[in-house]
């Protein structure tokens, strides 16, 4: 039963999106990759889910502002292992243009392990799909 589940789960990693104080640019691109049939991330077996408890791949945008820090950490702790973390945009990777601000607590790899980085401001949908495809290959090794 367990091996069967593993085999099935490898085909359909579920995505969960955390906005850690993003300007919404990367979130729009993430919505584009999911909702617009030209890009269609569901071809890879992915599906956005509403609850962190169902997530396999976590997509994080935003530079982790002081205001959302506690909430992001709580959400991240709720995601069951094994999980793969993808940082989308330059903000979660290095805080980008917001670096050294008093209201920024990032970059996010200070708080939890990141596996894939997708730089860009925002990255184009194809770049996000490339990152997600790599995240899926990482996730299959962790199952």
> Does residue 142 belong to the site contacting other proteins (CB under 8 A)?
no
> Does residue 99 belong to the site contacting other proteins (CB under 8 A)?
yes
d(CA 102, CA 110): 16
Is the distance from CB of 142 to CB of 84 less than 8 angstroms?
A: yes
> Does residue 21 belong to the site contacting other proteins (CB under 8 A)?
no
Instruction: Report the 10 Å Cβ neighbour count for 27.
Output: 18
> Does residue 64 belong to the site contacting other proteins (CB under 8 A)?
no
> Does residue 39 belong to the site contacting other proteins (CB under 8 A)?
yes
Q: From the list 80, 126, 142, 143, which residue makes contact with other proteins (rule: CB under 8 A)?
A: 126
CB of 1 to other proteins, least distance (A): 32
Contacts of 23 (CB under 8 A, 6+ apart): 62, 91
- Angstrom CA distances, 25 to 3, 32, 90, 138, stand at 40, 11, 11, 26
> Does residue 143 belong to the site contacting other proteins (CB under 8 A)?
no
Q: Where do contacts with other proteins occur on this chain (CB under 8 A)?
A: 37-40, 43-44, 90, 93-97, 99, 109, 113-121, 123-124, 126-131, 133-134, 138
């Amino acid at each position: 039963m367990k091996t069967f589940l593993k085999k099935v789960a490898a085909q359909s990693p579920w995505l969960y999106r955390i906005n850690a104080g993003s300007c919404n640019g990367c979130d729009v691109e993430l919505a584009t990759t999911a909702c617009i049939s030209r890009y269609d991330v569901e071809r890879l077996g992915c599906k956005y889910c509403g609850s962190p408890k169902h997530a396999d791949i976590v997509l994080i945008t935003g530079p982790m502002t002081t205001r959302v820090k506690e909430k992001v950490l709580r959400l991240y702790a709720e995601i069951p292992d094994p999980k793969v973390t993808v940082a989308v945009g330059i903000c979660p990777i290095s805080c980008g243009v917001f670096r050294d601000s008093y209201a920024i607590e990032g970059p996010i790899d200070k708080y939890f392990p990141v596996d894939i980085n997708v730089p860009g401001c925002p990255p184009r949908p194809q770049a996000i799909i490339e990152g997600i495809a790599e995240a899926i290959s990482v996730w299959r090794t962790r199952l």
